[in-house]
Amino acid sequence: TYTNADLVARRDAAVPRGVASAASGVYAAYAENAELWDVEGNRYIDFVGGIGVLNTGHRHPSVIAAAKAQEDAYTHTSFQVVPYAPYIELAERLNALAPGDTPKKTLLVTTGAEAVENAVKIARAATGRPGVIAFTGGYHGRTLLTLGMTGKISPYKKDVGPFPSDIFRAPFPSVRDGITVEDALTGLKNLFLTDAQPERVAAIIIEPVLGEGGYIPVPTEMLVALREICDQHGILLIADEVQAGFGRTGTWFAIEHSGVEPDLITVAKSMAGGYPLAGVIGRSDVMDAMEPGGLGGTYGGNPVACAAALAAIDAIAHENLLGRSTAMGDKLKARFAEIGARAAPYRMWDIRGLGAMVAVEFVTDFDSATPDTALVKRLIAHAQERGLLLLSCGMQGNAVRVMVPLTASDEILDEGLAIFEEALAAAYA
């Protein structure tokens, strides 16, 4: 048996400090649906879900059963050597789920960053062009290409450049920062004039709801305009759905809210209910651009993870988790509004999101709208002390996001929100 304190000390000695843990001092022992217990038996309600991985909850029974059944057959052959049915079945499922009528194909890999890397490789091969345009505040991963695309320096990009060339940045439309859709599109058009020759751009990548950057939905007009601009210049549109996908926003993919069909979609996280799996879903003609042998990775599309993903997708469909996400989002927003409106010292600048992908942003005062990062740190610490796991987001880390399992009961949700309210009062005290 362990204590949290023992593990803190051993971790400090054995693991580099660069891999920080938001809930430091909480060492997992057991988890089920939206609850987690640490090695000392303390119980937590989990509003983080392993960073948006657990839309179907910790250890969803059918996900676990599918993974166990797969483990009893084979756990790894490498799809590039001996292929297997679960990979094909999952690809078929994803091709059918992806928005739009264009025939689709799917590549499976292991992490979100790897999915983004491969989407860029495929886009380059398909267009014969090098350029990639990403947005301010976007998060696409921690490998060197995806870090180059990630639009936030600290802590991700600090001290590890240079990053690959031909990555350009366009302004994200953020009302919060006074950037309208029109401004953002002007910025993109200026980028075409100043740095990124449009005929040399392979892809524009955007998170339909900005994730790490603050849970800001991209307005429909922006996505529609990006589709038009991409078509005009022969650029491929990539929707990074790693965090927003698989029901978090009330639809399978967040971009469905806009009606826009992207050329490529990157997926990971909640697709596989807690197992490492990611993918690129895209137009068949684009996906086939690379020659045989050009795509892959030893573990890509691991059979246990594929089996888990098929079960997680079934659970989202059969348990109506898309409807649940929308209802949960309404409830979360209403409850946050109630908490914020109730007492004058609370300074919630914004309650925003799509479906159950909801965040609350805090400022020091409404006039200057200065981000209150310190308050959010205190809020998260007080919540943890009281048994609720929370995570921040936003360029300044001054928002709290909710990634609670969509399978969480109303009781658990209410209990978590009550702790949130108490922790917020304590953070302001």
**Which residue among 57, 112, 131, 198 contacts ligand PMP (CB under 6 A)?**
112
**Which residue pairs from 39-42 have beta carbons closer than 8 angstroms and sit at least 24 positions apart in sequence?**
39/1, 39/2, 39/3, 39/4, 39/7, 40/3, 40/4, 42/387
Residue 207 interacting with ligand PMP (CB under 6 A): yes
DSSP one-letter code for 157: I
The nearer residue to ligand PMP, 198 or 394, going by C-beta atoms, is: 394
At closest approach, how far in Å is the CB of 206 from ligand PMP? Answer: 10
Please answer whether residues 295 and 123 qualify as being in contact, where contact means their C-beta atoms are separated by less than 8 angstroms: no
112 three-class SS: helix
Show Cβ contacts of residue 275 under 8 Å, excluding neighbours closer than 6 positions. 63, 67, 302, 304, 305, 308, 309
**Which residue among 93, 121, 140, 152 contacts ligand PMP (CB under 6 A)?**
140
Residue 394 interacting with ligand PMP (CB under 6 A): no
Q: What share of the chain is helix, strand, coil (3-state, %, to 5)?
A: 45, 20, 40
At closest approach, how far in Å is the CB of 297 from ligand PMP? Answer: 13
Please answer whether residues 175 and 104 qualify as being in contact, where contact means their C-beta atoms are separated by less than 8 angstroms: no
In the range 238-257, which residues lie near ligand PMP by CB under 6 A? Answer: 240, 242-243
Phi, psi (deg, nearest 5) at residue 131: -70, 150
Alpha-helical runs (H) found in 258-409: 284-287, 303-318, 321-342, 373-385
In the range 261-280, which residues lie near ligand PMP by CB under 6 A? Answer: 268
Alpha-helical runs (H) found in 27-180: 49-52, 61-71, 85-97, 112-127, 144-149
Residues binding ligand PMP: what is the number (CB under 6 A)? 15
The nearer residue to ligand PMP, 120 or 424, going by C-beta atoms, is: 120
**Which residue among 116, 304, 311, 390 contacts ligand PMP (CB under 6 A)?**
116
At closest approach, how far in Å is the CB of 7 from ligand PMP? Answer: 23
Segment interacting with ligand PMP, rule: CB under 6 A, options 74-82, 123-131, 236-244, 284-292: 236-244
Residue 29 interacting with ligand PMP (CB under 6 A): no
**Which residue among 7, 28, 39, 51 contacts ligand PMP (CB under 6 A)?**
51
Using CB under 6 A, list all residues that contact ligand PMP: 51, 111-113, 116, 139-141, 207, 211-212, 240, 242-243, 268
